[in-house]
Structure 1
Amino acid sequence: MDLTKQYQPLKEGPMKYSAKVVSSVLFVSQLERSVNFYCDVFGCEQAIREEGAALLLDPGGFQVYLIAQGSGAAHYPTGVGPRLLMWATDSMEGLEHFEQVLKDRTDHTYKHSTGGVTFVEVRDPDGIRVVIAYPDPEQMPRSVLDLRLYL
């Protein structure tokens, strides 16, 4: 069976319906530590809290589901699947604010620019890569792929 035919567009031109990414699910070792990180750094609010899980909403409405796996859970840094969580801000002042907030939490921040976009990168308490970019894609559509995405 040729699977490439199965995933071909049904028609040319604009799609009648669309969908957008609205949530991310992160498996974490210590729920409270991760809730604090995302709330403190990104201004998320906890919308739901259950045993071993929380739903956070960022100020723009993006949802971050945190699911506790315990401190002995294995990390999967290679292979297929999500590699990082990327955020964007609409001003250089905003990027500098987030960079400082992250530097106050850890000295392992990394800042670089590619294709006119500046990125600040850090790892959350479980080592998940978190990147903040300026300008956001609505202000400046991307023209190149940042090589650090391949790490």
Structure 2
Amino acid sequence: MDVHFRPLIDPAHPQPRVAAQLGVDGSPGGGPPREAHVGSETTPAASGGRPPRPSADGAIPEESGNGMRLASVVLNVFDLQEAVSFYRELLGLEVSADTSTAALLVSADGSQLYLRSLSGHASHETGGIGVHCVLWTAPSPAELRHCEQVLKDRHAHTDTQEEADGFVWVQGRDPSGVTVVVTHPGPDQVARTRIISRIYAL
């Protein structure tokens, strides 16, 4: 299931900066990535959603909404202020509340990213159980280019590729070494039809 995270609208940009998906960004299958040039327009493809659940008597509700969505992500980091600065610049989120050890970054629709500061000696096991990384979706090629440039300016960019399903993947690392990925178009525009092989290398 793809879940989305719609962040704050930047006053300088009429569109939201990014939206996000959590975890695996695809469906069955696999294929090698291709080199990509960020900024190429892609024709959106139709993607179906999960059908609404029937009630106890078998009736389908007339207004079922869009189903479950991601509300919050909690991310442990080493340096809180450095992490706040990174995610604000990269994704356009804003700080709603903070303490000396945590910060809450929010989007225009109320989605939330919690950053929690841990000791600089805390371990970060990428091969362990739990959420592996968060995949964000930029609303346009221009915003994807912005994210790629922010990562490059911070010497945090690791890869840019075009996947077989027709979306571009920009990858980097945040100040704590956590993988961060931004894609365009999102799964609501171009359906993910296979499990992309690169999730095993994050």
TM-score after normalising by structure 2: 0.64
Q: Which runs of 4+ in 1 moved over 6 A?
A: none
Distance 2:109 2:87 in 1: 14
> CA offsets per residue over residues 52-72 of structure 1, 9 Å max, x none?
011001355431101111211
What is the aligned partner in structure 2 of residue 3 from structure 1? none
| Structure 2 residue 136 is the aligned partner of structure 1 residue 98 | no
Superposed CA RMSD in Å reads 1.7
Name whichever of 73-82 and 59-68 sits farther off.
Answer: 59-68
Alignment of 1:1-151 (within 5 A): 14-15=52-53, 18-59=67-108, 61-106=110-155, 108-114=157-163, 115-151=165-201
- C-alpha contact 1:53 1:68 (8 A) present in aligned 2: yes
1:96 positional shift? 1.2
Unaligned runs of 5+ in 1: 1-12
What is the aligned-residue identity percentage? Answer: 36
Distance 1:26 1:129 in 2: 11
1:116 positional shift? 0.5
TM-score after normalising by structure 1: 0.84
- Name the structure where helix makes up a greater proportion of residues: 1
What is the aligned partner in structure 2 of residue 6 from structure 1? none
Distance 2:108 2:158 in 1: 23
Unaligned runs of 5+ in 2: 1-50, 55-63
Letter in 1 for 2:79: Q
* Equivalent residue pairs, number: 139
SS in 2 for 1:70: coil
SS in 2 for 1:109: strand
Q: Identify if the C-alpha distance between structure 1 residues 136 and 60 changes in structure 2 by more than 3 Å, giving closer, same or farther.
A: farther
